[in-house]
Protein backbone atom coordinates (compact mmCIF):
# COMPACT_ATOMS: atom_id res chain seq x y z
CA UNK A 1 0.00 0.00 0.00
CA UNK A 2 1.63 3.22 -1.10
CA UNK A 3 2.33 5.65 1.69
CA UNK A 4 1.58 3.21 4.51
CA UNK A 5 5.09 2.59 5.85
CA UNK A 6 5.35 -1.04 4.79
CA UNK A 7 1.81 -2.21 5.52
CA UNK A 8 0.41 -4.68 3.00
CA UNK A 9 -3.19 -5.29 1.94
CA UNK A 10 -4.22 -8.84 1.11
CA UNK A 11 -7.60 -9.62 -0.44
CA UNK A 12 -9.59 -12.75 0.36
CA UNK A 13 -12.75 -13.90 -1.36
CA UNK A 14 -15.88 -13.86 0.75
CA UNK A 15 -18.36 -16.69 0.68
CA UNK A 16 -20.06 -16.52 -2.72
CA UNK A 17 -17.99 -13.50 -3.76
CA UNK A 18 -14.72 -13.00 -5.59
CA UNK A 19 -11.66 -11.32 -4.11
CA UNK A 20 -12.85 -7.88 -5.19
CA UNK A 21 -16.04 -8.24 -3.11
CA UNK A 22 -14.51 -10.10 -0.18
CA UNK A 23 -12.29 -9.15 2.74
CA UNK A 24 -9.21 -6.99 3.23
CA UNK A 25 -6.47 -7.97 5.65
CA UNK A 26 -3.82 -5.39 6.55
CA UNK A 27 -0.48 -6.82 7.72
CA UNK A 28 2.99 -5.48 8.53
CA UNK A 29 6.28 -7.30 7.93
CA UNK A 30 9.43 -5.50 9.09
CA UNK A 31 12.00 -8.29 8.82
CA UNK A 32 12.81 -11.91 9.46
CA UNK A 33 13.65 -11.23 13.11
CA UNK A 34 10.08 -10.30 14.08
CA UNK A 35 6.65 -11.80 13.34
CA UNK A 36 4.17 -10.54 10.79
CA UNK A 37 1.69 -8.27 12.56
CA UNK A 38 -2.02 -8.47 11.78
CA UNK A 39 -3.31 -4.90 11.86
CA UNK A 40 -6.89 -5.02 10.57
CA UNK A 41 -9.54 -7.16 8.86
CA UNK A 42 -12.56 -5.63 7.16
CA UNK A 43 -15.01 -6.43 4.39
CA UNK A 44 -15.13 -4.34 1.25
CA UNK A 45 -18.71 -3.44 2.15
CA UNK A 46 -17.44 -2.04 5.45
CA UNK A 47 -14.47 -0.17 3.96
CA UNK A 48 -12.98 -0.39 0.46
CA UNK A 49 -9.61 1.25 1.14
CA UNK A 50 -7.71 3.10 3.83
CA UNK A 51 -7.85 6.88 3.53
CA UNK A 52 -4.68 8.92 3.04
CA UNK A 53 -4.85 10.10 6.65
CA UNK A 54 -5.13 6.47 7.86
CA UNK A 55 -2.11 5.50 5.73
CA UNK A 56 -0.18 8.47 7.14
CA UNK A 57 -1.02 7.36 10.67
CA UNK A 58 0.11 3.80 9.91
CA UNK A 59 3.39 5.05 8.47
CA UNK A 60 3.99 6.97 11.67
CA UNK A 61 3.52 4.02 14.03
CA UNK A 62 4.80 0.99 12.10
CA UNK A 63 8.47 1.84 12.56
CA UNK A 64 7.81 2.24 16.27
CA UNK A 65 6.10 -1.16 16.44
CA UNK A 66 9.16 -2.89 14.97
CA UNK A 67 11.54 -0.93 17.20
CA UNK A 68 9.57 -1.70 20.38
CA UNK A 69 9.33 -5.40 19.50
CA UNK A 70 13.06 -5.66 18.80
CA UNK A 71 13.95 -3.85 22.03
CA UNK A 72 11.68 -6.17 24.01
CA UNK A 73 13.31 -9.19 22.38
CA UNK A 74 16.78 -7.89 23.32
CA UNK A 75 15.72 -7.38 26.94
CA UNK A 76 14.25 -10.88 27.02
CA UNK A 77 17.55 -12.36 25.83
CA UNK A 78 19.52 -10.32 28.39
CA UNK A 79 17.29 -11.47 31.25
CA UNK A 80 17.91 -15.13 30.35
CA UNK A 81 21.70 -14.80 30.73
What is the per-residue pLDDT across 58-67, written as a single tens digit (0 to 9) for each? 888 988 888 8
SS3 call for 41: strand
**Which band of pLDDT confidence, cut at 50, 70 and 90, is reported for residue 81?**
low
Judge whether 21 lies within some domain.
yes
Q: How many CB atoms lie within 10 A of CB 26?
A: 19
Judge whether 20 lies within some domain.
yes
Judge whether 2 lies within some domain.
no
Judge whether 65 lies within some domain.
yes
Range of the domain at 61: 7-80
Judge whether 1 lies within some domain.
no
Q: Tell me which H or E stretch contains 70.
A: helix 52-80
Indicate the number of domains in the chain: 1
Judge whether 69 lies within some domain.
yes
**Which band of pLDDT confidence, cut at 50, 70 and 90, is reported for residue 18?**
low
Our measurement of the distance from residue 78's CA atom to the centroid of its chain's CA atoms, rounded to an integer in Å, reads 28
Residue pLDDT, tens place only, 35-50: 899 998 888 777 767 8
Amino acid sequence: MKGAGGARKIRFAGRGKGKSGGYRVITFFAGTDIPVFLLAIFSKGEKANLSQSERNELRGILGEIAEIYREGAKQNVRSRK
